[in-house]
């Protein structure tokens, strides 16, 4: 992994909805002439200029012209930087060549991927190449799956410190959330469903909680697909839309951390809807909701600035072990989870890799397994997230 690059971080997809928010954050947090040399990358110089001016970014920010349909331009971009931060999704449509280029060249990579079938494919195709080159490829550096992946990591580290062993069972429960999806997220969802309909083998990947742990298969996991009453939390719980990707990433983190959470670790992820008849009714309504599949929003669209600024999330992690010991932690974010907070999370993930060359060796990682406490510290210091023990 060489550090002799023109840039520290290149934001690929800078003219897209999320990419421009990333550039706005990097400019506000790190400037242009500070110790982080970053650049905006996209297909069109004209659009890059337009976005730069709209977001109030200084005119001396560098541009890189790169187009997924022009492999040579992508290769030149990869070779110009230490870290590629890509918001160009759906990744199953636009990301495969970029992962290959980074894996072969030794360039670090972070994305916002929530597409487990594609991730499974990339791990098989490029994992060994990344190990050999020293490239640190880190998927899912946004709301899926940073708060959940690092929340489990945070709780397990506390459990090992306090009790001398990890929690064998953890429930991830979204207590509160205000935010919306963008067109890019919806397009990824639609493409994944279409691909699964054509290829039944993909359904196995999508439904297997251990589809990202390569050769390892752990104990049976709760499905999280139907409302349940959590007696220990005195609340009904409903299926949570991000659980499909988050649970897979968390089990991959455990696998990559040499099963620090234990080989019998059990995890599920749902949304709390409250006690009593009202809570049950709400849980059933959430479970029956099919609006995501029918939402007309298209890539490039997303929530307004006001929605992003007034959004938030609060996730509880309730751990227990076979000795009856209990430990809880929470992760909270101060902006709309999918965009206001996500743009900060992926930015800090890229900066964390840039500033910590020994944080991980080459390979395909999760945020927790690659950066762990280093990223938690950055997120609490810079990105409006809080990690704390409860009870």
What is the residue-wise DSSP string for 64-94?
Answer: EE-BTTBHHHHHHHHHHEEEEEE----HHHH
Query: Quick check: is 376 in a domain?
Result: no
Query: Quick check: is 2 in a domain?
Result: no
Whether residues 76 and 114 fall in one domain: yes
Is the pLDDT at 122 greater than 90? The verdict is: yes
pTM score of the predicted model: 0.95
- Give the CA radius of gyration of the chain: 20
Query: Quick check: is 27 in a domain?
Result: yes
The total domain count for the chain is 2
The H-or-E segment that residue 48 falls in is helix 45-54
Is the pLDDT at 353 greater than 50? The verdict is: yes
Parent domain of 278: 146-337+383-390
Whether residues 302 and 348 fall in one domain: no
Query: Quick check: is 79 in a domain?
Result: yes
Kindly state the percentage of the chain with pLDDT values over 90. 82
Whether residues 182 and 304 fall in one domain: yes
Collect all residues with Cβ–Cβ distance below 8 Å to 4 and sequence separation of at least 6: none
Whether residues 297 and 312 fall in one domain: yes
Is the pLDDT at 296 greater than 70? The verdict is: no
More confident residue, 189 or 232: 232
Predicted confidence band of residue 30 (pLDDT cuts 50, 70, 90): very high
Whole-number Å distance between alpha carbons of 156 and 160: 6
Whether residues 189 and 324 fall in one domain: yes
Whether residues 332 and 189 fall in one domain: yes
Residues, the chain, total? 391
Query: Quick check: is 375 in a domain?
Result: no
Pairing of strands 326-333, 312-320: antiparallel
Whether residues 79 and 161 fall in one domain: no
Q: Which two tokens stand for residue 331?
A: 């992760």
Whether residues 129 and 150 fall in one domain: no
Helices 372-382 and 146-163, axial angle in degrees (round to 10)? 120
Query: Quick check: is 378 in a domain?
Result: no
b vs e for 94-117, b when ≥16 Cβ sit within 10 Å of the residue's Cβ?
Answer: bbbebbbbbbbbbbbbbbbbbbbb
Whether residues 74 and 208 fall in one domain: no
Whether residues 254 and 160 fall in one domain: yes
Whether residues 103 and 154 fall in one domain: no
Whether residues 227 and 324 fall in one domain: yes
Predicted confidence band of residue 1 (pLDDT cuts 50, 70, 90): very low
């Amino acid at each position: 992994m060489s550090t002799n690059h023109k840039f520290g971080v290149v934001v690929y997809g800078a003219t897209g909805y999320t990419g421009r928010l990333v550039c706005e954050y990097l400019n506000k947090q790190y400037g242009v002439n500070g110790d982080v040399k970053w650049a905006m990358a996209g297909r069109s110089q004209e659009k890059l200029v337009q976005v730069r001016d709209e977001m109030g970014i200084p005119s001396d920010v560098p541009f890189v012209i790169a187009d997924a349909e022009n492999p040579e331009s992508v290769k030149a971009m990869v070779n110009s930087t230490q870290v590629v931060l890509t918001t160009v999704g759906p990744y199953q449509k636009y990301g495969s060549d970029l992962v290959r280029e980074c894996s072969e060249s030794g360039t670090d990579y972070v994305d916002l991927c929530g597409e487990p079938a594609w991730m499974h494919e990339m791990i098989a195709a490029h994992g060994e190449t990344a190990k050999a080159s020293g490239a640190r490829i880190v998927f899912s550096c946004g709301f899926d799956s940073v708060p959940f992946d690092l929340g489990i990591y945070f709780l397990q580290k506390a459990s090992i410190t306090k009790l001398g062993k990890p929690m064998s069972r953890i429930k991830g429960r979204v207590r509160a959330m205000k935010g919306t999806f963008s067109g890019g997220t919806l397009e990824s969802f639609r493409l994944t469903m279409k691909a699964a309909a054509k290829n039944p083998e993909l359904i196995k990947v999508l439904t297997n909680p251990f589809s990202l742990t390569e050769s390892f298969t752990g104990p049976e996991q709760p499905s999280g697909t139907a409302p349940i009453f959590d007696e220990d939390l005195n609340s009904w719980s409903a299926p949570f839309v991000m659980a499909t990707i988050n649970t897979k990433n968390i089990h991959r983190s455990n696998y990559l951390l040499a099963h620090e959470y234990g080989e019998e670790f059990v995890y599920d992820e749902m949304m709390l809807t409250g006690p009593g008849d009202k809570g049950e009714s709400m849980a059933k309504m959430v479970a029956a909701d099919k609006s995501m599949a029918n939402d007309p929003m298209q890539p490039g669209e997303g929530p307004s600035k006001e929605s992003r600024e007034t959004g938030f999330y609060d996730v509880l992690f309730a751990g227990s072990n076979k000795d009856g010991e209990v430990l809880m932690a929470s992760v909270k974010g101060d902006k709309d989870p999918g965009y206001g907070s996500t743009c900060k999370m992926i930015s800090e993930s890229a900066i964390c890799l840039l500033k910590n060359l020994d944080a991980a060796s080459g390979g395909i990682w999760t945020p927790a397994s690659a950066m762990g406490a280093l990223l938690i510290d950055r997120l609490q210091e810079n990105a409006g997230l809080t990690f704390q023990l409860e009870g």
